[in-house]
Structure 1
Amino acid sequence: MLNLSLLRQFSKLALCSTPNIPIASRGIATTAAVQFKITEQLWAEPMKKKKKIDPAIVKAREDRRRKKLEKQIRRLEKNARQLKPIDEMEVPLELLDNFNKRKRPQPKLTPEVIEARALLQKDWTRYKRQEYIANVAQIDRIMGAQRRALDKLLEESEDLYNEAIMPDMQLIPYEIQGPVATPPIKNYLSPDGEYIDVSKKWDN
């Protein structure tokens, strides 16, 4: 058995309290007389030895990775201008399959019907032309009357003329109040419950 005094001499407390004894960087103080050293537990795994790889294999891997990236870039550039599909705007496949069955033949018009439609189109064109000419003439009459009235007013008083041509500041900040929402429907029962959103998500 070791002597208790010897153990007490080698204890950490005794070594730390002894003057002029160097302190090790790993925790336990050591001296030349002690002749042993204790280090902390690192719990580290030994480093694996790196395998030497042929430079040709490394270059081939880099080439494959570069070609893959270039292919993805070309695919993105090709599909850059394609719009995202909208399911609501696409025609169902069932309707496309039954297109020939649902297609209605064009009715054969008789010469009398064709002539009547042409005459009706001409009458409608004449009516719209006369309506346009009447509107333009009415606007010209109103503007002419306004111009003549201002000329007469200028002959009477220049101050009244300047006040007449001034903009009405009460009409410029025009505000109007009306219904801000659809009026409620009487005896309408709003739906209540859970629903599942099945809309597709598209990444940019």
Structure 2
Amino acid sequence: MLNLSILRQFSRLSICPLAKIQLNTRNVSTTAALQFKITDQLWAEPMKKKKKVDPAIIKAREERRRKKIEKQIRRLEKNARQLKPIDEMEVSLDIIDQLGKRKRPTMQLSPAEAEARALLEKEWTRYKREEYMANIAQIDRIMASQRRALDKLYEESEELYDEAIMPDLQLIPYSINGPVATPPIKNYNSPDGDYIDVSKKWDN
């Protein structure tokens, strides 16, 4: 009797369809069409607990991020004010390397020589001032004489005065030909030449 009751319990399990039984196993099929097939793994992992962060630490991180961005903005503004370099005004590297050889030593002047140079500079300054004042006085005398002559001319004839103060238009298109270093070649056709723009392009 005991064996029959045990068999009845196993018979109940055999009646249950296999599809409804979910086992956490990996099945392998060896049929000819499918060869080997492994089902998906049904393992699970517990969710990670969220760490509680101090609000002061979050605020400090945001402050550091804000300061970093402000520093980058200041660096960009500083570079924006820099002028574009001019190659013609830059000193070549050869001259910079020879700076020690080209630099002259400072001369040590004696007190008498320094005093003589100072007196000579003062004398030259006085001479140039006197020359400047003489030129100004001469210009004033010429302009005063011209003004007196025009006043006398106006008293004599107003038409002559108007003609005298009119500008001479023939003097405006002024051209002059002087000696040159080499005489020009007769019947010489100057070639147009090729122009190649080698200027650098600076993109803002």
Query: Is TM (by shorter chain) over 0.5?
Result: no
TM-score band w.r.t. shorter chain = 0.3 to 0.5
TM-score, normalised by the number of residues in structure 1: 0.45
Structure number with the bigger relative contact order (C-alpha 8 A, sep ≥ 6) is 2
TM-score, normalised by the number of residues in structure 2: 0.45
Larger proportion of helix: 2
Larger radius of gyration: 2
